[in-house]
A and B are shown apart, each in its own frame.
Chain A
Amino acid sequence: MISYILGYNTSEYVDETVLVMLSMFTPGRSPAVHYDYATFIADKIHEQFMNMERERVFKYTSFIYHLILYNQPDSFPIALKKLDAKGNRRSVIFWTPVFHHIFYSPYNYCEFIDLFIHPALSLLLSSPPPRLTDEMQKILQLSKNYSIGDWYFYQDHTVIRMYGCELAPYRLPKYVPMRLFALEYFRQFGNADMVHFHSKNKKAQLKIKHQLGPFIFNKREEAWEEAYKILKSFQLQTSF
């Protein structure tokens, strides 16, 4: 709890700063000091935003999600439990588990993207992100003569298919963010390359993008494996 508030990544990280925090507790007595956590956290967020370009570190994602939800509740197409059983307003942490990272969440990863991330990005951008951006469509079909795949818009999900891939494609969210598109692109492209070229002792013939969205890779096999692992962690369903 202390590590989390101080912005440490792991609860096992114990140093003098955590010991000082723990020193406020004595059994049977009120804590020796009452710290101003809100100011500490607000200052930390400010500081990390100001240094984001250089340090690329941000430790208070949960606070940002909850602040967006609390201040713009009508922008999200989800049921919010703002009141408790007695009709009193509740802390925002009890409103919805839509973005909570728990294995027994009632919302899956695609719903997290479609019900929270997409509406939140729509508030921050001048127009809502499309289901598949022009850039993604161009990657799949640059021209009639150079097309490497297709996309399919279903009512609640999106599928991309790379020609030659023998894996079942994942059901991506209705609104596909670049980071998911990139991972699925690497996974399917990797499979097509392995099945039709690498495994037949032919040099890889397919020209793959080496930088897509936030991902850069040097070695094909490692990138494909990594993309597969990350996508697996999202527990997406396959389309067949």
Chain B
Amino acid sequence: MVELIELASRYHIQVVTEIRARHRNGTDILRILESHLPIYYLPQVNVFPDLIHQCCSNYDPNQRVVLSPSGSVLFYITPKAINQMLHFQLAKPLTPLSMQHLVDQGAKLSNAQITRIAQLFMQPDAQP
């Protein structure tokens, strides 16, 4: 648990690299890499809202694509495009994820489950 906290304080790419290394040498006890979370954990970037607003203006929601002024495709915003750039290959069917799903599941969490999660992820003095 302490190791996880140390890991979380590091730079994104270091975290991803370290989780991958732990997976390879068998010390990734929680099998974090297998959850695929680190693959989608992108580095924090300098924010420049003008670029995002421009992408939004050039966005074609029907095709889910950002176009150049001449109409050529600059990039797609699809699951396939995201997986491609992150080199994630689908090995088996995945469970759909939505905030509604999480809210529904959250309402069903028992006290015992919450305690187990706290023991696993929280420092002893912060546990309920």
A residues adjacent to B (C-beta < 8 A): 1-2, 4-6, 11, 15-17, 19-31, 33-43, 45-46, 49-50, 52, 58, 61-68, 70-72, 89-94, 97, 99-102, 109, 112-113, 117, 120-121, 123-126, 177-179, 214
The number of inter-chain residue pairs (CB within 8 angstroms) is 221
Known: A1-B38, A49-B59, A123-B74. A41 touches B52 (CB 8 A): no
Task: Indicate if the CB atoms of B105 and A42 lie closer than 8 Å.
Answer: no
Known: A4-B41, A50-B61. A68 touches B74 (CB 8 A): yes
Q: Scoring B residues 54 to 81 as 1 if CB is less than 8 Å from chain A, else 0, what string do you get?
A: 1111110100101011000011111111
B114: chain A residues at CB < 8 Å are: 19
Chain A residue with the shortest CB-CB distance to B83: A38
Task: Indicate if the CB atoms of B69 and A102 lie closer than 8 Å.
Answer: no
Task: Indicate if the CB atoms of A100 and B44 lie closer than 8 Å.
Answer: yes
A177: chain B residues at CB < 8 Å are: 48, 50
CA distance A91 to B119 in the complex (A): 34
From B45, B58, B106, give the contact of A124 (CB < 8 A): B58
Known: A34-B35, A62-B44. A70 touches B75 (CB 8 A): yes
A24: chain B residues at CB < 8 Å are: 35
From A100, A117, A124, give the contact of B48 (CB < 8 A): A117
Task: Indicate if the CB atoms of B96 and A39 lie closer than 8 Å.
Answer: yes
A71: chain B residues at CB < 8 Å are: 74-76, 81, 85
Q: How large is the interface on B (under 10, 10 to 19, 20 to 34, 35 or more residues)?
A: 35 or more
Task: Indicate if the CB atoms of A20 and B102 lie closer than 8 Å.
Answer: yes
From A16, A27, A39, A68, give the contact of B109 (CB < 8 A): A16
Q: Does B21 count as interface, using CB distance less than 8 angstroms?
A: no
Chain A residue with the shortest CB-CB distance to B43: A100
Least distance between B5 CB and chain A CB atoms (Å): 11
A102: chain B residues at CB < 8 Å are: 11, 43-44
A179: chain B residues at CB < 8 Å are: 48-50
Task: Indicate if the CB atoms of B95 and A40 lie closer than 8 Å.
Answer: no
Least distance between B54 CB and chain A CB atoms (Å): 5
B37: chain A residues at CB < 8 Å are: 1-2, 5, 37
Chain A residue with the shortest CB-CB distance to B19: A1
Least distance between B10 CB and chain A CB atoms (Å): 11
Task: Indicate if the CB atoms of A21 and B46 lie closer than 8 Å.
Answer: no
Task: Indicate if the CB atoms of B55 and A124 lie closer than 8 Å.
Answer: yes
CA distance A11 to B52 in the complex (A): 23
Least distance between A70 CB and chain B CB atoms (Å): 4
What are 16 sample pairs from A and B whose C-beta atoms fall under 8 A apart?
A: A16-B106, A20-B109, A27-B29, A28-B29, A29-B31, A36-B97, A39-B79, A62-B43, A67-B81, A70-B85, A71-B76, A109-B46, A121-B54, A125-B54, A125-B69, A177-B50
